[in-house]
Amino acid sequence: MSKLLIFAAPSGAGKTTIVHHLLNHFDSISFSVSATTRAQRPHERDGEDYYFLSAETFKQLIEEDAFVEWEEVYKNQFYGTLKREIERLWQENKDIIFDIDVKGALNIKKAYPEVSLSVFIKPPSPEALFERLRNRRTESEESLRIRMARVSEELMYEDRFDQVLVNDDLEVALLEAEKIVGDFLTSSHDDTHHQ
Ligand code: 5GP
């Protein structure tokens, strides 16, 4: 049975780096490609990083009940996990890793409680987070401000996750992520059920 590894974090907590590391480290894991209506960034590839959709197509898919979960993460920017994406990876017998927002993470966990592990990645401090986001230089000042406003809201969800991973020192966080995921992938169904 495939397992679901759900990673959520406030923007800039290092989630994407950790998720990429785990994808390289564990052969059995594949990335769940989300659908989004936000603009494609220069280094991103359609169908690999996201399925980039028009707002119209996205809304059509909502009506068709094609999503396990979807959120308007930022105003007029929709993100969602397609049922057919999970089914595709299931058919390949893959464990599935998700890089999604905190609400989406809890909804996936609710939809598949017995096979899911939810992990909250915690940034060291709001200041450090702001610096990281700014250094990333993918965001305008306005978009930075919007993202930071969201962080304090997202930090309140920490307690509802199975595991909390503090990303203070990245090397340490990567090792801890390997351990958390390794333990979960080798645990029997019964262990996960009683977590
Ligand atoms: P970004 O625009 O930086 O790629 O993503 C913004 C936020 O949306 C991140 O927290 C990311 O994890 C989240 N996100 C990406 N895909 C999904 C999804 O399918 N569902 C939900 N709920 N959030 C997502």
DSSP, residue by residue, 121-178: EE-S-HHHHHHHHHHH--S-HHHHHHHHHHHHHHHTTGGGSSEEEE-SSHHHHHHHHH
**Mutation test residue for ligand 1: of 34, 44, 62, 147, the one with most atoms within 8 Å of CB:** 34
- Strands laid side by side in the 77-82 sheet: 50-52, 34-36, 77-82, 67-74
CA 73 to ligand 1 center in whole angstroms = 7
What is the number of other CB atoms lying within 10 angstroms of the CB of residue 135? 9
Confidence of residue 13 (pLDDT cuts 50, 70, 90): confident
Atom nearest to 99 CA in ligand 1: 12
Confidence of residue 195 (pLDDT cuts 50, 70, 90): very low
Q: Given this model, what pLDDT does residue 123 score?
A: 84
Q: What percent of the chain has pLDDT over 90?
A: 70
Q: Given this model, what pLDDT does residue 60 score?
A: 98
Has residue 36 got a pLDDT over 60? yes
Atom 11 of ligand 1, nearest CA residue: 100
Domain 4-187 has CATH 1.10.3720.10: no
Return the structure tokens found at 102.
């905190």
101 lines ligand 1 (CB under 6 A): yes
32 lines ligand 1 (CB under 6 A): no
Integer Cα distance of 164 and 177 in angstroms: 10
Domain regions of the chain by residue span: 4-187
CA 105 to ligand 1 center in whole angstroms = 10
CA 40 to ligand 1 center in whole angstroms = 13
Q: Which phi and psi (to 5°) does residue 134 adopt? A: -65, -40
Global confidence as pTM: 0.88
Q: Given this model, what pLDDT does residue 194 score?
A: 46
79 lines ligand 1 (CB under 6 A): yes
Q: Over the stretch 57-74, which tens digit does the pLDDT of each residue have?
A: 999 999 999 999 999 998
Has residue 162 got a pLDDT over 90? yes
Q: Over the stretch 133-150, which tens digit does the pLDDT of each residue have?
A: 778 777 778 888 887 777
Has residue 124 got a pLDDT over 60? yes
Atom 22 of ligand 1, nearest CA residue: 104
85 lines ligand 1 (CB under 6 A): no
